[in-house]
Amino acid sequence: MPVQPRRRLPAEWEPHQATWFSWPHNRDTWPERLAAAETALAQAVQVLSRGETVHINVLDAQHAQRVREQVGAGENILLHILPTNDAWCRDHGAIFIQEQTADGWRLVATHWQYNAWGEKYPPWDRDQQVGRAMAALLQVPCLPLTPVLEGGAIESNGAGVLLAAQKCLLHPRRNPGMTTQDWEVYFRDYFGAQQVVWIDAEIQGDDTDGHVDVTTRFVAADTLVVAVETNPADPNYPVLQAHWARLQALAPALNWTLIPLPLPQPVFHRGQRLPASYANFYIGNRVVLVPAFGDPQDAVAQALLQKLFPQRQVVGIDSRGIVEGLGGLHCLTQPVPAV
């Protein structure tokens, strides 16, 4: 039998050749704060581009001109006319992995199915095509895969451990009939996962069915930051307390260190609780971009992450506009690993 190529999903702090975005444009997603979301993302792009290439998907030539005016003329910022339904590149974009060949490691795109978080927000026809197009633009091999997988539902430590969002990945409107065992085969074969830890934690306002990147993030191969709620009256309190307790029970066997990460005060829009979380940070080559909400806990979260990433600059990005779209900074990004 042929030997399966060795593949791995790098940790986010490993070197990138680029970060990829799909520019916000959907007014159904941002009915009132689209301009604020664009302004925040432009700042993120400018900061990131000092340490890596930034790719941005835009709708057409007119949209490209608008985006270029916002992000500036940096030579590290590349715009691609690649129309999308929405901006959440973490979930609709290719998930790039490293694959070992006889000549060394190469970059490969995995292209999973996408259906707007279990068919919640049609249409998604353009978004479903983005992964293949990203691979073509980089001229790298593309592996088309049949399950529905959103990038925010997984988190790799780069050393064989993968976190996976159980409720999301087993959702009947995403992957009817699939089991955790089925998924673990995919995660082993395509991401190099030797161990999968299934996560079940969903905060108020999260419409993803519990994406990992809202609550639980690796900051080193053996270290996790975990969102916690300290107010017993908050609806997130029992969920996150149970999540913390479960991870604490697992930590000794996995040699994990767990670090609590606060949540901001609740953020609302038209009476709807939004999924505001500092855990939705993004690790670039030189910076760590952290959501900010005009909250006293902003400084606490930034200081904690600065201590954890002393070689990178922690930059707060005002995400009050972004989170109106029910996502965050990390949800807008897709890293392209270096090889």
Residues tagged active-site: 331
Query: How many angstroms separate the CA atoms of 264 and 275, rounded?
Result: 10
Query: How many angstroms separate the CA atoms of 281 and 305, rounded?
Result: 9
